[in-house]
Amino acid sequence: LTAVKPNATLQRVTSASERRRPRASKGEGDRLRGEIVSAAAALLARMGSDEALSLRSVARAVGVSAPSVYLHFADKDDLLVAVATDLFDDLRHTLDAAAAEAGEDPVAAVLARGQAYVAWGLAHPGHYKVLYEGVLMRRLPAPGLKAFGRPALQAIAGDLGRAAAAGRLGLADEPEELARLLWQVVHGMTSLRINKPGIDWGDPQTDVARLLTRVLGLA
């Protein structure tokens, strides 16, 4: 009978119709914390806005009272930071995996990171908006920057440095400066496609290849 509704555990987290969850015993506090974070992440994916997410709806989805959230998080911002940290981790691992799969060539690695970045954003538009356009990120001491931004920029700058040393770039720009330019380009592609879906933007992979080769001065 339970097999009639597949993916029941996932539904339990996200469904607002869930009413109660059984009282936890002593050591189970951390399990509730995890359930709150993943329920918040699921709701944020749908809403695409940290402001639209209500702490009470997260509590309802988990099947717990609203004040229970405060047992694990200082306030709503604190919960959002926890979710954002997980999301930045996922994005970083995705980019690193794409670069590793691209092999030894530094130019191929940079292109692979650009492709993976845009693909992640378009696959998770709500999460992308929370990380890059949410109110939280402007108010806080940039937790995502230390956790994601700096290493991501340095990885690309490192590849670009090697590419320049091998005479692969047609330009004399600093690698760090080029990395920032590339980030702005792929962010523009991703953000505008998410926020203005009414326009026929064309294939994102094609645009990444076109823009990055031109900005880097590649043959």
Partner DNA sequence: ACCTGAACACCGTTCAAGT
For residue 19, the partner it binds in its own copies, DNA, none, with Cβ less than 5 to 8 A by kind, is none
Task: Pick between residue 55 and residue 107 the one whose CB is nearest to DNA.
Answer: 55
Alpha carbon distances (Å) from 120 to 23, 55, 62:
37, 26, 27
Dihedral (C-alpha) 107, 110, 112, 114: value to the nearest 10 degrees?
-140
The one of DNA, its own copies, none whose footprint includes residue 55, by CB under 5 to 8 A per kind, is DNA
Note the residue count of the chain. 219
- Determine the Cα–Cα distance for residues 205 and 23; give it in Å rounded to an integer: 49
- C-alpha count within 13 angstroms, C-beta hemisphere, residue 134: 27
Closer to its own copies by Cβ: residue 12 or 140: 140
How many CA atoms within 13 Å lie on the side-chain side of 82?
18
Query: Minimum distance between the CB of residue 106 and its own copies, rounded to whole angstroms?
Result: 19
- Cα gap 102→97, rounded to integer Å: 9
68 binds, among its own copies, DNA, none (CB under 5 to 8 A by kind): DNA
Q: Which does 132 bind (CB under 5 to 8 A by kind): DNA, its own copies, none?
A: its own copies
* Nearer CB in complex with DNA: 55/164: 55
Close Cβ partners of 3 (under 8 Å, ≥ 6 residues apart): none
- Closest approach of Cβ 9 to DNA, in Å? 17
Please say which residue, 64 or 128, places its beta carbon nearer to its own copies: 128
Q: Which residues bind DNA (CB under 7 A)?
A: 20, 23-24, 26-29, 32, 53-57, 64-68, 70-71, 75-77
